Amino acid sequence: MSLTLREIAKKHDAKKDDPCLDLYTEKFETLRDQPLTFLEMGVQGGGSVKMWSEFFPNARIIGIDLTDFSEHARGDRIEFFQGRQEDAVFLDSICEKTGIDQFDVILDDASHFGLYTKRSYEILFDRRLKRGGFYIIEDWGTGYWDDWPDGSRYQAPPTEVAVEGQEAHFIYRPDEAVGLLPKTFHSHQFGMVGFIKQLVDEAHHGAIKNAHPYRLSKFDSMIIKEGVVLITKK
């Protein structure tokens, strides 16, 4: 009987939280025997790529990291490359060296900085992810951390209800029920959290009527859970 993903993660000391493992089990269990191509950015000592290699026994696993984990992140069907996740030349060179033009799964568990994560997405999603493939972003909650370089302590946004005598933080329109109907809702926008909220715009791009050219979303679906976002590409 095959081990569960949680059991495999524990076996290889893969640093993956339970919400991530549960979501991956739900999405990937039926794909375990498929000859997938899998790119993981940020390999955390090598345990994660070994986990994926065992879970997907017929897949090719490509791992990258800023730190040289080549001694640990290797094995059957595993290849490791050292470099930066936001470096387009480096990412393209991986495809050239491996002969993999597009991946079935791309997982970003690298810097956890909003800008680097966004740049990797912009480089990889359109050109390097197959139709129907999965793009995953882990640990997006760093944007709520006051001690994280691009994060900040969460502060509750001001109320949307207009109160006489107080400074107006919102754009309003007249409304017969509440007097003034807020058109803007402020929220936490720091680091990874801000980027994930930008991706929500893409998830419903078809509603953006002034987009030129007009198009529908590139996403078939976008699942947001504590610690992980999983996008399925159309």
Classify residue 203 as exposed, middle or buried by CB count within 10 Å of its CB (0-12, 13-18, 19+): middle
Q: In whole angstroms, what is the distance from residue 30 CA to residue 49 CA?
A: 19
Does 25 have pLDDT greater than 90? Answer: yes
Which pLDDT value is given to residue 6?
A: 97
Closest CA to 54 of 22, 38, 32, 30: 32
Active-site residues: which are they?
112
Angle of helix 114-128 relative to helix 191-203, nearest 10 degrees?
30
Cβ count near 124 (within 10 Å): 22
Express as a percent the part of the chain with pLDDT over 90. 83
Does 49 have pLDDT greater than 90? Answer: yes
The CA R_g of the chain, rounded to the nearest whole Å, is 20
Q: How confident is the model at residue 138 (pLDDT cuts 50, 70, 90)?
A: very high
Which pLDDT value is given to residue 173?
A: 82
Which pLDDT value is given to residue 29?
A: 97
Which pLDDT value is given to residue 164?
A: 67
Least confident of 66-80, 91-105, 151-165, 210-224: 151-165
Does 16 have pLDDT greater than 90? Answer: yes
Which pLDDT value is given to residue 73?
A: 87
Residues 164-207 have pLDDT tens digits of: 656 677 778 887 777 788 888 899 999 999 999 999 999 999 99
Q: In whole angstroms, what is the distance from residue 163 CA to residue 186 CA?
A: 16
Which pLDDT value is given to residue 214?
A: 96
Q: Which residues contact 151 (CB under 8 A, 6 or more apart)?
A: 142, 143, 144, 145, 190, 191, 192, 193
Closest CA to 167 of 189, 191, 186, 140: 186
Residues 33-42 have pLDDT tens digits of: 999 999 999 9
Express as a percent the part of the chain with pLDDT over 70. 98
Higher per-residue pLDDT: 199 or 72 = 199
